[in-house]
Structure 1
Amino acid sequence: MDILSFRPALSPFVKWAGGKRQLLPAIARRMPGQFRDYYEPFVGGGAVFMNFQPHSCHISDLNRALINAYLQIRDDPWKVMTDLTKLDTSLTRTGAAFYYDARDRYNRKLQGAQYDVETASLFIFLNKHCFNGLYRVNTKGCFNVPYNGSVRPSYDTANLEALSRFLKGVTIGCMDFEEAVLRATSEDFIFFDSPYAPLSPSSFEKYTKDGFPTSDHLRLAQLFRTLSDRGCYLMLTNHDTPFIRELYQGFSIESLPVKRLINRDAAHRTGREVLITNY
C-alpha cells in the first residue's frame, strides 16, 4: 500500500447504512502495515477506501444504482453537479412536492434499467433529502423513503472533483462479492462490510430488493476462510451477535461500541459491532 500525504481528503457523497466513518480510527489501527491490491466488495458509501486511498484499488457492490453513481462521478462529475444544482433549486422553490416527483422519476428510471447521469443525480439527491439518509427499496425494487424536510445542498464541489480524479485509477464493478475477489492473491487486503446480520427478526437491512439472507452470510464466512487460506489479509465488520461470532470462530474478533444513526428508534441508536481479522 502506498498512501500519499498530498492527496486531498475525500468524503462519501452519500449517507449509507452501516457507514464506517466512526470506525475509521479502529480500522486504521488494525490494517496490515503493507499489502498489495486493495479490494472492497461491499463498498457502500466508501468511507474506508476514500479515507486511505490505496493504490491498486478495486471496489464493487451489488447495488447497481450506487455503482452507477460512482461511474458517473468518475466519468462526468460536472454533469452530475449541474443536474444536482437544478434539483436543489427546484426543491428550494417547490418543497416536498418536488421531492416526491423526483422520487417517482427515479423509480421509473430503475424500472426501465436506465443507469445514466440523470439516474445518478437523482440517486444522490434523494439520498441527501430522504428520511435519515436511508436507501431502502420495496419488493418491486422501488425507492420508497419519505422526504426529510431538508433543503441543504446535495453535494460539495471540491469533494466530487477530487473523488472523480481518484476514481479514474480505481477498478469499479457491480457484481456478487465472490466474483469481486476472484483475482485476489496472497498479501492482497480485502475489507468486507456486508449488509449486517439482523439484530432481531424485525430488523431492516435491505438495500437491494433481494436483501442479504442468512445463506449469503454463510457463503461470505466460507469465502473468508478460503481467502485466508490463500494468504490474503482480511478484515470484516458486522453486528456483534452470537451468530456472527460463531461464523468467524477461530479468527481475531474485537468488539467496538458504535452509534447507529439510521435506526428509526432512538433507543436503539447505540450498540456494538465486531472487527474481525485473520492476522
Structure 2
Amino acid sequence: MSNNVKVAPFLKWAGGKRQLLNQIKERMPKEYNDYYEPFIGGGAVLFELQPEKATINDINTSLINVYRQVKDNTEEFIELVNKLDSEMWEDGKEYYLDIREKYNDKLLKNEYDLELAALFTFMNKHCFNGLYRVNKKGLFNVPYNKSRRTSIEEEAVRETAKFLKTVNILEGDFEEACKDAKKGDFIFFDSPYAPLNPTSFEAYTKEGFDVESHKRLAQLYDELTERGCYCMLTNHNTEFINELYSNKGYRIDVVSVKRMINSDASNRKGEEVIICNY
C-alpha cells in the first residue's frame, strides 16, 4: 500500500464511509490480493487504503466519468472547475440552477465528457449535502445549498489523480464488476442503503436499487464466499438486511453512525452493520 497521505476523496457523497473508516480498517483481512469496490461512491475507503491493485465500479455513469476525467485529463479538469467557481454570479442560487440546467442538457445528449465532469463536481459541492438524486427522467434535481465555497483543492486532486492512474475503473452492474475476483481478493461492498422504511426506496440512479437488487447482491456475496474471496459489506441495520445475511456463518457487527442527510436533527443517529465472511 502507498503512504501518500495527500490522496483523499474530492467529492461529497451521501452515505460515504469516512466516519466508519476506523471500524472498517479494524476489520480488514491482514493480507489480500486485488481490491474490488463495486459501488465506489465518494471512494473514502479506496483512498484511505490505496491498494496496489484496485478495480472500482459504479452504475452512475456521471460519477465514473468524473473519475476517468480526473485520471486522464487532470489539469484540464482543474482548469474547468476553477473557471466555474470564478464565474459564479452574485445570485448563487440562480447560477447553480443555470449550471444544473447545463448539466441536465448534456445528460439528455449523453455527453459524458470533461465539461460534464466539471459541472458534476461544481454541483457536488454546491448542492444539498452532496446528495445525488435524479427524477424519473434521470435528470439531476437536488437544490442549492447556499454555499459559495471553492469546489476543489488543486493539489489534492493532482495527488488523487496520480493514484487513480493505477486503478482499473469500470462502469456498470456490480455483479459484472466482480466477475474476475478470485480467491484471496478483497471486495468491499458499500451498496445503496436498504430503506429504513420498507415502503420507500430512493432513486440513486434512474435504474434504482430495489429489493431484488439487494437479494441479488446477497447471492453474489455468497458466491464470492464460495470462491474464497474476502468480503465486507456495510448497510443500514434493518431486519431486511439481517435476514439476507444471517444464519450463513457471517460476522455481523452493529455500529453507531450519524446520518447527515436527515433534515430532522433528532433522527440523525442510527445504526449500520458491517458484515464480513472471514
Report the TM-score when normalising by structure 2.
Answer: 0.97
Between 1:88-97 and 1:155-164, the stretch displaced more is 88-97
* Residues 40-78 of structure 1: per-residue CA shift (max 9 Å, x gap): 000000000000000110000000000000000001111
CA distance in 2, matches of 1:205, 1:54: 31
Does structure 2 retain, via aligned residues, the 8 Å contact 1:8–1:162?
no
* Residues 87-133 of structure 1: per-residue CA shift (max 9 Å, x gap): 11222544211111100000001111100000000001001001121
Q: Which runs of 5+ in 2 are unaligned?
A: none
Residue 121 of structure 2 is matched in structure 1 by 124
CA distance in 2, matches of 1:184, 1:88: 41
- What percent of counterpart residues are identical? 54
Query: Of 9, 12, 17, which aligns to 1:15?
Result: 12
Output the amino acid matched with 2:272: E
Residue 2 of structure 2 is matched in structure 1 by 4
Q: Does 1:209 align with 2:206?
A: yes
Output the amino acid matched with 2:11: V
Output the amino acid matched with 2:2: L
Q: Give RMSD over aligned pairs.
A: 1.1
Residue 99 of structure 1 is matched in structure 2 by 96
Residue 148 of structure 1 is matched in structure 2 by 145
CA distance in 2, matches of 1:10, 1:119: 23
Q: Does 1:112 align with 2:109?
A: yes
CA distance in 1, matches of 2:265, 2:98: 29
CA distance in 1, matches of 2:269, 2:91: 36
Between 1:83-92 and 1:67-76, the stretch displaced more is 83-92
CA distance in 2, matches of 1:205, 1:189: 28
Q: How far off its partner does 1:267 sit?
A: 2.3
CA distance in 1, matches of 2:129, 2:37: 24
Q: How far off its partner does 1:4 sit?
A: 2.9
Does structure 1 retain, via aligned residues, the 8 Å contact 2:201–2:210?
no
Q: Which runs of 5+ in 1 are unaligned?
A: none
Query: Of 217, 229, 235, which aligns to 2:232?
Result: 235
Does structure 2 retain, via aligned residues, the 8 Å contact 1:237–1:275?
yes
Residue 269 of structure 2 is matched in structure 1 by 270
Q: How far off its partner does 1:268 sit?
A: 1.7
CA distance in 1, matches of 2:42, 2:16: 6
Q: Does 1:39 align with 2:26?
A: no
